[in-house]
């Protein structure tokens, strides 16, 4: 008897509209293809698929051909990499839309990882002041985080994700089988965001990860599907409370202020986002311990879990003043004060500026040479 494949769904509720996240293991099969699952959420008859030159050879043709039986379908293939998450790539999407005389009835489909999803969403939010779009995330990181919740945008030379908009997709299709073609380093980058949810929201989930990370790293799709479902539910619950990140949603950026320093300093793409977040979470944990909120044993536990995911546990050497300057561009800075997400305990995070600056300097100095 054949083993049943993982298939589940949940709903994200926002002020603009509710939309489903479908998590499946078989959307590359003919009977339940990507095209069949996204077609009901396409508005109008025009479709632009946005992907990159790594994902396109793997999944584009089947999706394009099948959708072309019902819709007018065009394609925009971008170069792959965080360094291309910029205005030039957005202009390529606009150019494709304008060349085909597409109008407000168009649906943009993001086929790829977080970079493709963020840029497609931003193009959808800004083309004709807002058109429909669908997310088909093909990396673990985008499946558990960036494809959900409507944060879209591009990078600026002086800061990551500084230009963008909140624009919710019509649906998200997370197909676990696409992870079979994901490089091991990219898989680990996604694991970092999964660990993040456990650290800020649910210690029991961290225990589950300690038991199940080996199976996830070995590409057990059912276990991966369960992890994706849990993370999407955590994020959906937060987005329902705070769609535009004016409060509790900021907690989802645990490790990101430190991590964005790494990405910006090292050059976008040299450290993957999840790798930078992993090192950033360690720095945030170290600061939490210096304040007196975490014990040394808890910091070591966090380090062990990150190592299970084959993730870095310390940042590259960055001059302290350089790091502070880059932190000053962070979106959580308020009234000139750096605010950080720190851990009161494992499973409980807080956004705060209530820390001694000397302690932050100590953490930064540990890795400055």
Tokens of 182: 């994901």
Vertex 58: Cα angle to 53 and 64 (nearest 5): 85
Residues 323, 100: Cα–Cα separation, whole Å: 45
CA distances for 34 relative to 74, 133, 227, 275, 278, angstroms: 16, 15, 21, 29, 31
* Torsion, Cα of 256, 262, 267, 272 (10° steps): -60
Q: Which single residue is written with the structure tokens 């080996």?
A: 214
- φ, ψ of residue 106 to 5 degrees: the values are -75, 150
Give the Cβ contact number of residue 69 at 10 Å: 9
CA distance 279 to 21: 29
CA 165 to chain centre: 15
Pairing, β 46-52 against β 7-13: unpaired
Residues labelled catalytic? 129, 151, 193, 235, 245, 249, 253, 256, 260, 273
Q: Angle of helix 114-126 relative to helix 87-99, nearest 10 degrees?
A: 60
Residue 316: DSSP 8-state = P
């Amino acid at each position: 008897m054949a083993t049943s494949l993982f298939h589940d769904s949940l709903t994200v509720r926002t002020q603009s509209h509710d939309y489903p996240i479908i998590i499946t293991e078989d959307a590359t099969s003919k009977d339940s293809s990507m095209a069949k699952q996204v077609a009901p959420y396409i508005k109008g008859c025009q479709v632009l698929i946005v992907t990159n030159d790594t994902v396109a050879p793997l999944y584009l043709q089947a999706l394009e051909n099948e959708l072309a039986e019902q819709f007018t379908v065009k394609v925009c293939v971008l170069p792959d990499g965080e360094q291309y998450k910029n205005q030039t790539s957005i202009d390529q999407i606009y150019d494709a839309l304008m060349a085909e005389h597409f109008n407000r009835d168009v649906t943009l489909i993001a086929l790829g990882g977080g970079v493709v999803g963020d840029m497609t969403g931003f193009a959808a939010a800004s083309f004709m002041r807002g058109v429909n779009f669908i997310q088909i995330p093909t990396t673990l990181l985008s499946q558990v985080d960036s494809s959900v919740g409507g944060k879209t945008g591009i990078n600026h030379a002086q800061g990551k994700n500084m230009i963008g908009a909140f624009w919710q997709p019509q649906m998200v299709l997370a197909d676990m089988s696409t992870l079979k073609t994901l490089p091991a380093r990219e898989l680990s980058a996604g694991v970092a965001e999964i660990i993040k949810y456990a650290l800020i929201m649910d210690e029991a989930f961290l225990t589950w990860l300690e038991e199940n990370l080996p199976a996830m790293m070995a590409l057990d799709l059912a276990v991966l599907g369960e992890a994706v479902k849990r993370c999407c539910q955590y994020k959906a619950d937060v987005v329902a409370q705070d769609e535009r990140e004016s409060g509790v949603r900021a907690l989802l950026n645990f490790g990101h202020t430190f991590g964005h320093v790494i990405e910006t300093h090292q050059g976008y793409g040299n450290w993957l986002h999840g790798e930078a977040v992993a090192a950033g979470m360690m720095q945030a944990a170290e600061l939490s311990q210096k304040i007196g909120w975490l014990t040394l044993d808890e910091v070591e536990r966090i380090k062990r879990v990150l190592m299970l995911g084959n993730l870095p546990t310390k940042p590259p050497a960055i001059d302290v003043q350089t790091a502070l300057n880059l932190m000053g561009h962070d979106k959580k800075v308020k009234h000139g004060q750096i605010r950080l997400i720190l851990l009161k305990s494992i499973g409980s995070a807080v956004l705060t500026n209530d820390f001694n600056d000397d302690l932050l300097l100590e953490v930064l100095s540990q890795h400055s040479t």
